[in-house]
Structure 1
Protein backbone atom coordinates (compact mmCIF):
# COMPACT_ATOMS: atom_id res chain seq x y z
CA UNK A 1 0.00 0.00 0.00
CA UNK A 2 1.33 3.41 -0.84
CA UNK A 3 0.28 6.77 0.43
CA UNK A 4 0.69 10.00 -1.42
CA UNK A 5 1.81 12.59 1.10
CA UNK A 6 1.90 16.18 0.04
CA UNK A 7 5.21 17.70 0.88
CA UNK A 8 5.43 21.33 1.81
CA UNK A 9 7.38 23.53 -0.56
CA UNK A 10 10.89 24.60 0.33
CA UNK A 11 13.26 23.08 2.78
CA UNK A 12 11.86 22.09 6.16
CA UNK A 13 13.08 24.05 9.12
CA UNK A 14 15.98 22.35 10.80
CA UNK A 15 15.33 23.89 14.16
CA UNK A 16 12.54 24.69 16.56
CA UNK A 17 12.19 28.49 16.84
CA UNK A 18 10.94 28.29 20.44
CA UNK A 19 13.91 26.17 21.48
CA UNK A 20 16.14 28.59 19.57
CA UNK A 21 14.74 31.51 21.57
CA UNK A 22 15.48 29.67 24.83
CA UNK A 23 19.05 28.98 23.68
CA UNK A 24 19.55 32.57 22.57
CA UNK A 25 18.16 33.82 25.87
CA UNK A 26 20.86 31.86 27.70
CA UNK A 27 23.54 33.46 25.52
CA UNK A 28 22.16 36.99 25.95
CA UNK A 29 21.80 36.44 29.68
CA UNK A 30 25.32 35.09 30.15
CA UNK A 31 27.14 37.58 27.93
CA UNK A 32 24.80 40.51 27.32
CA UNK A 33 23.28 41.73 24.07
CA UNK A 34 26.39 43.60 22.93
CA UNK A 35 28.76 40.64 23.25
CA UNK A 36 26.58 38.11 21.40
CA UNK A 37 26.90 38.13 17.63
CA UNK A 38 24.64 36.65 14.98
CA UNK A 39 27.49 34.24 14.21
CA UNK A 40 27.47 33.11 17.87
CA UNK A 41 23.74 32.47 17.71
CA UNK A 42 23.75 30.68 14.36
CA UNK A 43 26.61 28.47 15.52
CA UNK A 44 24.83 27.64 18.79
CA UNK A 45 21.63 26.84 16.90
CA UNK A 46 23.32 24.96 14.08
CA UNK A 47 21.70 27.09 11.40
CA UNK A 48 22.95 29.40 8.69
CA UNK A 49 22.44 33.18 8.66
CA UNK A 50 19.64 33.15 6.03
CA UNK A 51 17.65 30.74 8.22
CA UNK A 52 18.30 32.97 11.22
CA UNK A 53 17.07 36.11 9.45
CA UNK A 54 14.06 34.28 8.01
CA UNK A 55 13.03 33.12 11.47
CA UNK A 56 13.82 36.21 13.56
CA UNK A 57 14.38 39.15 11.22
CA UNK A 58 17.37 40.46 13.13
CA UNK A 59 19.43 40.05 16.26
CA UNK A 60 17.14 42.61 17.90
CA UNK A 61 14.10 40.57 16.88
CA UNK A 62 15.56 37.49 18.54
CA UNK A 63 16.57 39.51 21.59
CA UNK A 64 13.03 40.85 21.99
CA UNK A 65 11.65 37.32 21.78
CA UNK A 66 14.26 36.27 24.34
CA UNK A 67 13.06 39.01 26.69
CA UNK A 68 9.47 37.79 26.22
CA UNK A 69 10.60 34.23 26.96
CA UNK A 70 12.44 35.42 30.08
CA UNK A 71 9.36 37.18 31.44
CA UNK A 72 7.39 33.93 31.09
CA UNK A 73 10.02 31.54 32.44
CA UNK A 74 12.72 33.28 34.46
CA UNK A 75 11.34 36.57 35.69
CA UNK A 76 9.97 37.10 39.17
CA UNK A 77 6.28 36.09 39.26
CA UNK A 78 4.98 39.44 40.46
CA UNK A 79 1.32 38.48 40.11
CA UNK A 80 1.83 35.51 42.43
CA UNK A 81 3.69 37.50 45.08
CA UNK A 82 1.88 40.85 45.00
CA UNK A 83 -1.43 39.56 46.26
CA UNK A 84 -4.03 41.89 47.77
CA UNK A 85 -4.33 39.72 50.89
CA UNK A 86 -0.72 40.44 51.95
CA UNK A 87 0.65 43.53 53.65
CA UNK A 88 2.36 45.64 50.98
CA UNK A 89 5.75 45.81 52.70
CA UNK A 90 5.76 42.04 53.26
CA UNK A 91 4.92 41.35 49.61
CA UNK A 92 7.59 43.75 48.33
CA UNK A 93 10.16 42.20 50.67
CA UNK A 94 9.21 38.80 49.23
CA UNK A 95 9.77 40.18 45.71
CA UNK A 96 13.27 41.32 46.68
CA UNK A 97 14.12 37.98 48.29
CA UNK A 98 12.87 36.13 45.23
CA UNK A 99 14.99 38.43 43.08
CA UNK A 100 18.05 37.60 45.16
CA UNK A 101 17.44 33.86 44.75
CA UNK A 102 16.75 34.01 41.03
CA UNK A 103 19.59 36.40 40.21
CA UNK A 104 22.11 34.12 41.94
CA UNK A 105 20.66 30.85 40.64
CA UNK A 106 22.83 30.62 37.53
CA UNK A 107 26.42 31.63 38.21
CA UNK A 108 27.22 31.82 34.49
CA UNK A 109 24.32 34.20 33.91
CA UNK A 110 23.83 36.17 37.10
CA UNK A 111 21.38 38.97 37.47
CA UNK A 112 18.25 39.84 35.57
CA UNK A 113 18.17 39.66 31.77
CA UNK A 114 15.88 42.70 31.60
CA UNK A 115 17.77 44.88 34.07
CA UNK A 116 21.13 44.04 32.55
CA UNK A 117 19.66 44.71 29.11
CA UNK A 118 18.80 48.28 30.12
CA UNK A 119 22.55 48.92 30.38
CA UNK A 120 23.63 47.58 26.98
CA UNK A 121 25.26 49.83 24.40
CA UNK A 122 22.76 49.22 21.59
CA UNK A 123 20.01 51.84 21.85
CA UNK A 124 17.26 49.71 20.30
CA UNK A 125 18.06 46.72 22.51
CA UNK A 126 18.20 49.00 25.55
CA UNK A 127 14.78 50.41 24.62
CA UNK A 128 13.36 46.90 24.20
CA UNK A 129 14.57 45.92 27.68
CA UNK A 130 13.14 49.14 29.14
CA UNK A 131 9.67 48.22 27.89
CA UNK A 132 9.76 45.10 30.09
CA UNK A 133 11.28 47.02 33.00
CA UNK A 134 8.54 49.66 32.85
CA UNK A 135 5.86 46.97 32.81
CA UNK A 136 7.28 45.46 36.00
CA UNK A 137 7.59 48.88 37.64
CA UNK A 138 4.00 49.71 36.68
CA UNK A 139 2.84 46.47 38.30
CA UNK A 140 4.67 47.35 41.52
CA UNK A 141 3.48 50.97 41.45
CA UNK A 142 -0.15 49.95 40.95
CA UNK A 143 0.12 47.42 43.78
CA UNK A 144 1.50 50.00 46.22
CA UNK A 145 -0.89 52.73 45.05
CA UNK A 146 -3.92 50.59 45.84
CA UNK A 147 -3.21 51.00 49.60
CA UNK A 148 -0.52 53.68 49.86
CA UNK A 149 -1.17 56.10 46.98
CA UNK A 150 1.08 58.85 48.34
CA UNK A 151 4.03 56.46 48.63
CA UNK A 152 3.66 54.57 45.35
CA UNK A 153 6.24 56.48 43.32
CA UNK A 154 9.02 56.58 45.90
CA UNK A 155 8.49 52.97 47.01
CA UNK A 156 8.53 51.78 43.39
CA UNK A 157 11.77 53.68 42.84
CA UNK A 158 13.25 52.11 45.97
CA UNK A 159 12.26 48.58 44.99
CA UNK A 160 13.43 49.03 41.39
CA UNK A 161 16.76 50.52 42.50
CA UNK A 162 17.29 47.69 44.99
CA UNK A 163 16.53 45.10 42.33
CA UNK A 164 18.98 46.77 39.95
CA UNK A 165 21.64 46.64 42.66
CA UNK A 166 20.92 42.99 43.40
CA UNK A 167 21.20 42.20 39.69
CA UNK A 168 24.49 44.06 39.35
CA UNK A 169 25.96 42.34 42.39
CA UNK A 170 24.82 38.91 41.17
CA UNK A 171 26.44 39.68 37.83
CA UNK A 172 29.59 40.58 39.75
CA UNK A 173 29.61 37.18 41.45
CA UNK A 174 27.79 37.73 44.73
CA UNK A 175 26.18 34.53 45.95
CA UNK A 176 22.64 34.07 47.17
CA UNK A 177 23.47 34.46 50.86
CA UNK A 178 24.96 37.93 50.38
CA UNK A 179 22.15 39.03 48.09
CA UNK A 180 19.55 37.84 50.61
CA UNK A 181 21.15 39.93 53.36
CA UNK A 182 20.70 43.02 51.19
CA UNK A 183 17.15 42.05 50.23
CA UNK A 184 16.23 41.54 53.89
CA UNK A 185 17.72 44.87 54.93
CA UNK A 186 15.65 46.51 52.20
CA UNK A 187 12.63 44.62 53.53
CA UNK A 188 13.17 46.22 56.95
CA UNK A 189 13.23 49.65 55.33
CA UNK A 190 9.99 48.85 53.50
CA UNK A 191 8.32 47.74 56.73
CA UNK A 192 9.26 51.03 58.34
CA UNK A 193 8.14 53.09 55.33
CA UNK A 194 4.84 51.24 54.88
CA UNK A 195 3.33 50.39 58.23
CA UNK A 196 0.57 47.81 58.03
Structure 2
Protein backbone atom coordinates (compact mmCIF):
# COMPACT_ATOMS: atom_id res chain seq x y z
CA UNK A 1 0.00 0.00 0.00
CA UNK A 2 1.46 3.34 -0.98
CA UNK A 3 1.44 6.22 1.41
CA UNK A 4 1.73 9.96 0.98
CA UNK A 5 5.38 11.00 1.47
CA UNK A 6 6.04 12.46 4.91
CA UNK A 7 5.99 16.20 5.06
CA UNK A 8 4.19 16.67 1.73
CA UNK A 9 1.51 19.32 1.73
CA UNK A 10 -1.05 20.62 -0.79
CA UNK A 11 -2.50 24.06 -0.82
CA UNK A 12 -6.24 24.25 -0.44
CA UNK A 13 -6.59 26.00 -3.74
CA UNK A 14 -4.48 23.62 -5.82
CA UNK A 15 -6.23 21.77 -8.67
CA UNK A 16 -5.08 18.41 -7.38
CA UNK A 17 -6.99 18.89 -4.14
CA UNK A 18 -10.26 19.85 -5.83
CA UNK A 19 -13.04 17.26 -5.59
CA UNK A 20 -13.83 15.76 -9.01
CA UNK A 21 -17.13 16.90 -10.44
CA UNK A 22 -19.98 14.39 -10.30
CA UNK A 23 -20.92 12.83 -13.61
CA UNK A 24 -24.18 14.22 -14.98
CA UNK A 25 -26.71 11.42 -15.41
CA UNK A 26 -28.50 11.40 -18.77
CA UNK A 27 -32.11 10.56 -17.91
CA UNK A 28 -33.24 10.05 -21.50
CA UNK A 29 -30.38 7.70 -22.27
CA UNK A 30 -31.24 5.84 -19.07
CA UNK A 31 -34.82 5.36 -20.28
CA UNK A 32 -33.59 3.75 -23.50
CA UNK A 33 -31.39 1.33 -21.59
CA UNK A 34 -34.14 0.47 -19.11
CA UNK A 35 -36.70 0.05 -21.89
CA UNK A 36 -34.69 -2.73 -23.47
CA UNK A 37 -34.24 -4.40 -20.09
CA UNK A 38 -37.95 -4.22 -19.24
CA UNK A 39 -38.80 -5.62 -22.66
CA UNK A 40 -36.28 -8.43 -22.36
CA UNK A 41 -36.73 -9.41 -18.72
CA UNK A 42 -40.27 -8.32 -17.91
CA UNK A 43 -41.32 -5.91 -15.17
CA UNK A 44 -41.36 -8.34 -12.26
CA UNK A 45 -38.10 -10.11 -13.10
CA UNK A 46 -36.14 -6.87 -13.42
CA UNK A 47 -34.99 -5.70 -9.99
CA UNK A 48 -33.68 -2.35 -8.81
CA UNK A 49 -30.19 -3.76 -8.34
CA UNK A 50 -30.03 -4.86 -11.97
CA UNK A 51 -31.40 -1.52 -13.15
CA UNK A 52 -28.89 0.59 -11.25
CA UNK A 53 -26.01 -1.56 -12.49
CA UNK A 54 -27.13 -1.13 -16.08
CA UNK A 55 -27.65 2.61 -15.66
CA UNK A 56 -24.41 2.98 -13.68
CA UNK A 57 -26.07 4.93 -10.88
CA UNK A 58 -27.01 4.23 -7.26
CA UNK A 59 -30.57 3.59 -6.04
CA UNK A 60 -31.10 7.11 -4.63
CA UNK A 61 -30.15 8.56 -8.02
CA UNK A 62 -32.65 6.30 -9.76
CA UNK A 63 -35.43 7.44 -7.42
CA UNK A 64 -34.39 11.06 -7.85
CA UNK A 65 -34.48 10.76 -11.64
CA UNK A 66 -37.64 8.69 -12.12
CA UNK A 67 -39.53 8.59 -8.82
CA UNK A 68 -39.49 4.81 -8.52
CA UNK A 69 -39.32 1.67 -10.64
CA UNK A 70 -42.89 2.11 -11.86
CA UNK A 71 -42.15 5.72 -12.82
CA UNK A 72 -39.22 4.57 -14.92
CA UNK A 73 -41.40 1.86 -16.48
CA UNK A 74 -44.00 4.47 -17.39
CA UNK A 75 -41.41 6.52 -19.29
CA UNK A 76 -40.11 3.38 -20.97
CA UNK A 77 -43.61 2.45 -22.11
CA UNK A 78 -44.13 5.90 -23.60
CA UNK A 79 -40.94 5.60 -25.65
CA UNK A 80 -41.78 2.04 -26.69
CA UNK A 81 -45.24 3.00 -27.92
CA UNK A 82 -43.84 6.00 -29.77
CA UNK A 83 -40.93 4.22 -31.45
CA UNK A 84 -41.41 0.47 -31.57
CA UNK A 85 -45.07 -0.36 -31.10
CA UNK A 86 -47.37 -1.80 -33.74
CA UNK A 87 -48.27 1.11 -36.09
CA UNK A 88 -52.01 0.44 -36.18
CA UNK A 89 -52.78 3.98 -37.34
CA UNK A 90 -50.70 3.43 -40.49
CA UNK A 91 -52.17 0.01 -41.20
CA UNK A 92 -55.84 0.53 -40.40
CA UNK A 93 -56.53 3.32 -42.87
CA UNK A 94 -59.93 4.34 -44.31
CA UNK A 95 -59.01 3.38 -47.87
CA UNK A 96 -58.53 -0.33 -47.06
CA UNK A 97 -61.00 -3.17 -46.84
CA UNK A 98 -61.60 -4.26 -43.26
CA UNK A 99 -60.50 -7.88 -43.70
CA UNK A 100 -57.38 -6.92 -45.62
CA UNK A 101 -56.37 -4.31 -43.05
CA UNK A 102 -56.88 -6.60 -40.06
CA UNK A 103 -54.95 -9.41 -41.72
CA UNK A 104 -52.10 -7.03 -42.42
CA UNK A 105 -52.17 -5.82 -38.80
CA UNK A 106 -51.82 -9.38 -37.50
CA UNK A 107 -48.95 -10.19 -39.87
CA UNK A 108 -47.15 -6.99 -38.89
CA UNK A 109 -47.56 -7.96 -35.25
CA UNK A 110 -46.05 -11.40 -35.83
CA UNK A 111 -43.03 -9.83 -37.52
CA UNK A 112 -42.62 -7.11 -34.88
CA UNK A 113 -42.93 -9.46 -31.91
CA UNK A 114 -40.16 -11.71 -33.25
CA UNK A 115 -37.86 -9.00 -34.63
CA UNK A 116 -35.43 -9.28 -31.72
CA UNK A 117 -34.02 -12.51 -30.32
CA UNK A 118 -34.14 -11.19 -26.76
CA UNK A 119 -36.89 -8.54 -26.73
CA UNK A 120 -39.85 -10.56 -27.90
CA UNK A 121 -43.55 -9.90 -27.77
CA UNK A 122 -45.28 -6.60 -27.05
CA UNK A 123 -43.84 -4.76 -24.05
CA UNK A 124 -47.22 -3.22 -23.20
CA UNK A 125 -49.15 -6.48 -23.51
CA UNK A 126 -46.62 -8.33 -21.39
CA UNK A 127 -46.64 -5.50 -18.87
CA UNK A 128 -50.31 -6.26 -18.22
CA UNK A 129 -49.13 -9.44 -16.51
CA UNK A 130 -47.03 -7.57 -13.93
CA UNK A 131 -47.70 -8.27 -10.27
CA UNK A 132 -47.28 -4.59 -9.46
CA UNK A 133 -50.76 -2.99 -9.84
CA UNK A 134 -49.33 0.40 -10.81
CA UNK A 135 -47.23 -1.06 -13.63
CA UNK A 136 -50.13 -3.25 -14.71
CA UNK A 137 -52.46 -0.26 -14.91
CA UNK A 138 -49.93 1.72 -16.97
CA UNK A 139 -49.55 -1.09 -19.49
CA UNK A 140 -53.30 -1.71 -19.60
CA UNK A 141 -53.94 1.94 -20.46
CA UNK A 142 -51.92 1.61 -23.66
CA UNK A 143 -53.54 -1.70 -24.61
CA UNK A 144 -57.00 -0.28 -23.91
CA UNK A 145 -56.26 2.71 -26.13
CA UNK A 146 -55.24 0.37 -28.94
CA UNK A 147 -58.38 -1.70 -28.46
CA UNK A 148 -60.53 1.43 -28.67
CA UNK A 149 -58.79 2.48 -31.88
CA UNK A 150 -59.34 -0.95 -33.45
CA UNK A 151 -62.98 -1.02 -32.40
CA UNK A 152 -63.57 2.44 -33.85
CA UNK A 153 -61.99 1.35 -37.13
CA UNK A 154 -64.13 -1.78 -37.33
CA UNK A 155 -67.29 0.16 -36.47
CA UNK A 156 -67.02 2.07 -39.75
CA UNK A 157 -68.15 -1.01 -41.67
CA UNK A 158 -69.39 -3.41 -38.96
CA UNK A 159 -71.09 -1.18 -36.38
CA UNK A 160 -73.30 -3.90 -34.93
CA UNK A 161 -70.44 -6.24 -34.03
CA UNK A 162 -67.54 -3.85 -33.63
CA UNK A 163 -66.95 -4.69 -29.97
CA UNK A 164 -66.98 -8.45 -30.55
CA UNK A 165 -64.70 -8.24 -33.58
CA UNK A 166 -62.31 -5.88 -31.82
CA UNK A 167 -62.15 -8.27 -28.86
CA UNK A 168 -61.20 -11.04 -31.28
CA UNK A 169 -58.42 -8.96 -32.84
CA UNK A 170 -57.02 -7.72 -29.52
CA UNK A 171 -57.13 -11.20 -28.00
CA UNK A 172 -55.32 -12.56 -31.05
CA UNK A 173 -52.65 -9.87 -30.79
CA UNK A 174 -52.11 -10.68 -27.12
CA UNK A 175 -51.86 -14.37 -27.98
CA UNK A 176 -49.26 -13.62 -30.65
CA UNK A 177 -47.28 -11.60 -28.12
CA UNK A 178 -47.40 -14.34 -25.49
CA UNK A 179 -46.40 -17.00 -28.02
CA UNK A 180 -43.49 -14.89 -29.27
CA UNK A 181 -42.43 -14.38 -25.67
CA UNK A 182 -42.57 -18.14 -25.13
CA UNK A 183 -40.19 -18.65 -28.04
CA UNK A 184 -42.38 -19.51 -31.02
CA UNK A 185 -40.40 -18.94 -34.22
CA UNK A 186 -41.21 -16.15 -36.65
CA UNK A 187 -42.41 -18.50 -39.45
CA UNK A 188 -44.75 -20.33 -37.09
CA UNK A 189 -46.06 -17.12 -35.55
CA UNK A 190 -46.60 -15.64 -39.02
CA UNK A 191 -48.53 -18.78 -39.97
CA UNK A 192 -50.80 -18.34 -36.96
CA UNK A 193 -51.32 -14.66 -37.82
CA UNK A 194 -52.17 -15.57 -41.41
CA UNK A 195 -54.72 -18.17 -40.29
CA UNK A 196 -56.30 -15.69 -37.86
CA UNK A 197 -56.57 -13.12 -40.64
CA UNK A 198 -58.19 -15.64 -42.96
CA UNK A 199 -60.64 -16.60 -40.22
CA UNK A 200 -61.54 -12.94 -39.73
CA UNK A 201 -62.06 -12.49 -43.48
CA UNK A 202 -64.17 -15.66 -43.71
CA UNK A 203 -66.32 -14.55 -40.82
CA UNK A 204 -66.98 -11.21 -42.50
CA UNK A 205 -67.91 -12.91 -45.78
CA UNK A 206 -70.20 -15.34 -43.97
CA UNK A 207 -71.97 -12.48 -42.26
CA UNK A 208 -72.40 -10.69 -45.61
CA UNK A 209 -73.92 -13.77 -47.19
CA UNK A 210 -76.37 -14.28 -44.37
CA UNK A 211 -77.33 -10.61 -44.42
CA UNK A 212 -78.14 -10.77 -48.12
**Is the Cα contact below 8 Å between 1:14 and 1:47 reproduced in 2?**
no
TM-superposed CA distance for 1:12, in Å, is 6.4
TM-score by length of 1: 0.91
Match of 1:69 in 2: 79
1:144-196: CA deviation from partner (whole Å, max 9, x where unpaired): 01121112111111111111111111111111100010000011111122248
Q: Map residues 26-105 of structure 1 onto 2, 5 A cutoff.
A: 26-105=36-115
For residue 201 of structure 2, what is the aligned residue in structure 1? 191
Distance 1:111 1:13, change over 3 A: same
Paired position in structure 2 for 1:140:
150
3-state SS, counterpart of residue 83 of structure 1: coil
Residue 128 of structure 1 pairs with residue 138 of structure 2: yes
The higher relative CO (CA closer than 8 Å, separation ≥ 6) is in 1
1:157 aligns with 2:157: no
Give the number of equivalent residue pairs. 186
2:35 corresponds in structure 1 to 25
- Alignment check: 8 A CA contact 1:162 1:186 kept: yes
What is the CA deviation profile of residues 24-47 of structure 1, one whole-angstrom value per residue up to 9, with x for unaligned ones?
Answer: 111111111011112211110111
Note closer, same or farther for the CA distance 1:14–1:50 as it changes in structure 2 (3 Å cut). same
Q: Do the aligned partners of 1:144 and 1:152 also contact (CA within 8 Å) in 2?
A: yes
RMSD of aligned residue pairs (Cα, Å): 1.4
Q: Which stretches in structure 1 are left out of the alignment for 5+ residues?
A: 1-10
- The structure 2 residue matched to 1:177, chosen from 187, 191, 194, is 187
Q: Distance in 2 between matches of 1:76 and 1:88?
A: 17
1:96 positional shift = 0.6
Higher mean alpha-carbon deviation, 46-55 vs 63-72, is at 46-55
Query: Secondary structure, in 3 states, of the residue corresponding to 2:118?
Result: helix
Unaligned segments of structure 2, at least 5 residues: 1-20
Q: CA deviation at 1:139?
A: 0.6
Aligned-partner Cα distance in 1 for 2:25–2:34: 13
TM norm structure 2: 0.84
| Matches of 2:111 and 2:96, distance apart in 1 | 21
Q: For the residues of structure 2 that align with 1:14 and 1:52, how far apart are their CA atoms?
A: 13
- What is the CA–CA distance in structure 1 between the aligned matches of 2:156 and 2:23, rounded to whole Å? 48
Greater gyration radius: 2
